[in-house]
Amino acid sequence: MKMIRVHVFIFGDVIGVGFRAWISHRAKNLGLTGWVRNAPVGIVEAVFEGPKEKVEEMIELCRKGPEVSWVEKIETKWEEATGEFISFDIRV
């Protein structure tokens, strides 16, 4: 199965609303690896690796976010999958 990787930048009211934990939970449920963090510029940044359909599903979930958040927009940057991750982590 071909693995893909995407780097996602999520803009809006996404800091201090549990967005990282929400992403981590959903990414793990989809079997994805990678990481999520609050970026210094007030956005949430994440890297997802896994099967194409699962990564695409995760991107769609990120467009909505948890109920207490408001997602203005997301930007995606497709990259080569490296297989470097063994789990999905929250970074600080």
* Residues acting as catalytic residues: 20, 38
| H helices present in 3-84, as ranges | 19-29, 52-64
The answer for residues whose C-beta is within 8 angstroms of residue 21's C-beta and 6 or more apart is 90
CA-CA distance, 41 to 67, in Å (whole number)?
22
Contact indicator for 50, 84 with CB cutoff of 8 Å: no
CB 34 within 8 A of CB 85: yes
